Structures are given as C-alpha cells and as structure tokens.
C-alpha cells in the first residue's frame, strides 16, 4: 500500500499517525488485515475514527464503531447502523459512492475539504483505508475524520 501522498503533504498529525499505523499493520501485504487492527492502538484519535463492515447485500456498509467526536459532528451516533439508515439521502448517496470506490480500487482515500449537511459546513480531513480478511477480501473500511472545529 503506497501512502506516499499522505507523507509528502502537510496533513493533520492524527491522519499521519493513522496512516503509519495502517502501513505498519499491512507490512508486506497489499492491505492491512482487519483482524490485526485494535482501536486501542490509536487511542489519541479514537473519538474521530469509524470502522465500517463491508457486508453482502444491498445495504452493504455497517458502522461497527463510530467515535464520539464523529457522533457530535454528524449529529447522531451511527454505531450499529447500516448506511441505508442515514436519513439524509444526498449524504447517504455520497458516502455509498465513496465507500464503493475504496472497495473497488482497493486503495486508501484521503481528502481535505468541506462537509456540508444539516445546513452547516465544516472543514475536514478524512482518511479511508480498506482492510481485508485472512483471504485478502475487503471486509471493512477504517475511517478517520478530523474537523477543523472542536467537537468537545
């Protein structure tokens, strides 16, 4: 997994730490294994991470973990919910498209931009990293989103 674009630009230190952690987990493998990931290993950014299970079927993304700061940012806790349960149709479609691309391309995605929903706009840096099962099939997505405003 080549994350050089992350390390050759100025990114939030939490993004850099998460990217390095994912590289360390991957080792010589193409992608990190989900079974190797422990949220406690990224304790300093735990409130900003989310883990998405990739499951078969039409509602193919399930939020296994949704950090407390993410819940404040989005206005609700998505832990234990499927992507299809997000009420905002435009946001749901955008996230589905993004997650589909991460899975299909088998590569990380980093963005710095604006999230716009619920009549507000927040600057954000986000990292998505696909993770695999023991056979190399993508079974989850590690996500980290850090806003440019405090969520405390």
Predicted model pTM: 0.90
Cα 32 to Cα 26: distance, rounded to the nearest angstrom: 4
pLDDT tens digits, 66-94: 999 888 877 789 999 999 998 888 888 98
Q: Which two tokens stand for residue 60?
A: 């193919």
Cα 27 to Cα 49: distance, rounded to the nearest angstrom: 21
> Which one, of 54, 73, 75, lies nearest residue 63 by Cα?
54
Residues near 136 by Cβ (< 8 Å), separated by ≥ 6?
29, 30, 31
- What residues pair up with 6 in beta bridges, in sequence order? none
pLDDT tens digits, 33-71: 999 998 888 888 999 999 999 998 777 899 999 999 888
**SS3 letters across the chain:** CCCHHHHCCCCCHHHHHHHHHHHHHHCCCCCCEHHHCCHHHHHHHHHHEEEEEECCCCCCEEEEEECHHHHHHHCCCCCCEEHHHCCCHHHHHHHHHHHHHHHHHCCCEEEEEEEEECCEEEEEEEEEEEEECCCCCEEEEEEEEEECCCCC
pLDDT tens digits, 92-134: 898 999 999 999 999 999 999 887 766 778 889 999 999 999 9
């Amino acid at each position: 997994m080549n994350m050089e674009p992350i390390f050759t630009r100025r990114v939030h230190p939490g993004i850099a730490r998460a990217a390095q952690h994912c590289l360390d987990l991957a080792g010589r493998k193409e992608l990190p294994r989900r079974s190797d990931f422990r949220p406690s290993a990224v304790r300093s950014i735990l409130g900003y991470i989310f883990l998405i299970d990739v499951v078969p079927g039409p509602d193919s993304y399930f939020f296994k973990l949704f950090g407390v700061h993410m819940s404040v940012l989005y206005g609700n806790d998505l832990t234990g919910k499927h992507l299809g349960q997000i009420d905002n149709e435009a946001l749901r479609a955008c996230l589905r498209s993004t997650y589909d691309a991460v899975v299909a391309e088998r590569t990380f995605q980093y963005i710095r931009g604006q999230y716009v929903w619920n009549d507000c706009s927040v600057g954000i840096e986000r990292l998505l990293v696909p993770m695999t099962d023991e056979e190399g099939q993508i079974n989850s997505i590690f996500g980290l989103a850090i806003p440019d405003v405090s969520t405390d």
